[in-house]
Amino acid sequence: MSVTMPSNLPKQGDLYNPLCPSRDIAKHVGSLWGLILLSTLKDGQVMRFGELRKRIRGISDKMLSSSLRSLERDGLLTRTHHKEDRLKVDYRLTSLGEQCVALTHPFCVFIEDNMYEIARHQLEYDQNPTRTTWQTHK
């Protein structure tokens, strides 16, 4: 399938530009559910909707469906409908999605590995919100 790209679309994104479409892509990938979905499908995992819902506890069907559609639209995952069973649909990462996971999964691991330390800082901050962490230089 061939598509015609708009002539005014730049060849590279600019996240600093509020009009750049790269911001929408970053919003999909960088969302909580986007990060979790991408990590869940890493390493060639192929999963059905119900399997994803069971694995990702706390996500509503509506949010799961919306997140899957956004990532599919961005070309990061593919949805396969199996003709032999009208209800059998599965999801897997595309090669572009695999490249994305190579960058986002380490971020998820960092958060998990440092959750305790980050939570400690949050509690410290919340208990003394008027304390600043910056210093003035003379």
pTM metric for this prediction? 0.83
pLDDT in tens, 17-51: 888 889 999 999 999 999 999 999 999 999 999 99
Mean pLDDT of the chain: 90
Conformation bin of residue 2: beta by default, left when phi > 0, alpha when psi is -120 to 50: beta
Q: Which residues pair with 80 in a beta bridge?
A: 90
The answer to the question of residue 56 being in a domain is yes
The answer to the question of residue 5 being in a domain is no
Total number of domains constituting the chain: 1
Measured CA to CA, the distance from residue 120 to residue 2 in angstroms comes to 52
Q: What is the pLDDT of residue 20?
A: 87
Residue recorded with tokens 């995952």: 77
The answer to the question of residue 39 being in a domain is yes
Domain region containing 31: 22-127
Measured CA to CA, the distance from residue 117 to residue 129 in angstroms comes to 18
pLDDT at 8 over 60: yes
The answer to the question of residue 113 being in a domain is yes
pLDDT at 5 over 80: no
CATH number, domain with residue 102: 1.10.10.10
pLDDT at 105 over 90: yes
